Amino acid sequence: MTIPLKDQALKDDVIRFCRDRNTDLVGFAPVERWDEYGEVPPDFRPRAIFPQARTVIVIGMSMPLPVVETTPSALHQELYTTTNRQLDDLAVELTRYLNRMGHASFPFTRDTYTTMRALRENNLAAFGHVPAAKYAGLGTIGMNQCILTPEFGPRVRFVSVLTAAEIPPDPMQGKELCIHCKLCAECCPKNAIKPREDRVVGDYDKTACLEMHEELVKRRCYPCGICTKVCPIGKDRLLYKSKGIRKKYGKEQETLAANPDAPEYKSWTHIRKYGAPQKPREKSKDKE
Ligand code: SF4
Ligand code: SF4
């Protein structure tokens, strides 16, 4: 199929807009993919939320691995908050840019919940960036229920812009990126990920994961993210020369329980010691 030049020009323009603002990943999904795959309930699909939508633009920013490795820490929380804020700003900025060009658009920002209590009442987002990123060809969904990207594994955050513009789509990833190593499940402190033999994506105990996050909000070092830290997928491991440390991840909790100052974990535990309370408060005022 020949792509009209004006559609390709708009795509190039959007990519340039995002790259100029330090985006790591940009992908384009036609809204029909939600119907074709049938994985997302109808009310959560782009056209149910924004009937004019023809394309979903998905934008990703990476979370540098050595900081993710310090989780739970104040530093990791700052990185998470900063990345989300940058992404949210970009989604709103891109929406205004497209609107000015005559393409009605609708931003869906990153963390669309206000409190942990809201998640306890209804632990679901009105629109999922994970399926959006998959349909935009940016990655595949791993056992840990996160998008795994070739570039950063699951260490990347996403926002989406729903637009009336018809933009040439990106192809979806040809093969599953998750290698079913089960490290995410083994390292989860709440046992919230259960591997399945019949499919790549594991079963996920949202309540157990939420309990972990509630504890971390009280300690002011939210979120957890251990299942994104340990995933071996991603070229970021080459940049940081961090291949083959499965054993180190796998033994971390046990080793530190026996010796909190174990030298092999010093660079992570040093950062964890500062900037956040070591013990939870009885009642959090942060996100309650
Ligand atoms: S975020 Fe933490 S508690 Fe939740 S599934 Fe991942 S490792 Fe488990
Ligand atoms: S840690 Fe292993 S099993 Fe879990 S998502 Fe990554 S590759 Fe898949």
180 lines ligand 2 (CB under 6 A): yes
Phi–psi pair at 30, nearest 5 degrees: -75, 140
C-alpha span between 107 and 162 (Å, rounded): 6
What does the pLDDT read at residue 283?
A: 55
CA-proximal residue: ligand 1, atom 6 (nearest): 227
Output the CA torsion sign for 231, 233, 234, 235.
positive
Per-residue pLDDT, averaged over 118-145, amounts to: 92
CA-proximal residue: ligand 2, atom 1 (nearest): 231
Which residues make Cβ contacts (< 8 Å) with residue 218, sequence separation at least 6? 280, 281, 283, 284, 286
Q: Which of 226, 228, 229, 253 to mutate to test the pocket of ligand 1 (most atoms within 8 A of CB)?
A: 226
Per-residue pLDDT, averaged over 122-134, amounts to: 92
CA-proximal residue: ligand 1, atom 2 (nearest): 224
What does the pLDDT read at residue 118?
A: 78
C-alpha span between 29 and 260 (Å, rounded): 46
User: Is residue 114 very low, low, confident or very high in pLDDT (cuts 50, 70, 90)?
Assistant: confident
Distance 214 CA to ligand 1 centre (A): 12
* Residue 68 token pair: 């993710």
pLDDT at 49 over 90: yes
Beta strands 55-62 and 105-108, pairing class: unpaired
Per-residue pLDDT, averaged over 185-192, amounts to: 98
Average pLDDT of the chain?
93
Choose among 20, 66, 120, 55: nearest CA to 270: 66
Q: Which atom of ligand 1 is nearest to the CA of 190?
A: 3
User: Is residue 77 very low, low, confident or very high in pLDDT (cuts 50, 70, 90)?
Assistant: very high
Would the pTM of this model clear 0.95, i.e. be above it? Answer: no
In which residue are the tokens 């060809």 written?
137
C-alpha span between 221 and 276 (Å, rounded): 6
What does the pLDDT read at residue 288?
A: 39
pLDDT at 190 over 80: yes
For residue 123, give the 3-state DSSP assignment: coil
pLDDT tens digit sequence for 228-282 = 999 999 999 999 999 789 999 999 999 999 999 999 999 999 999 998 887 766 5
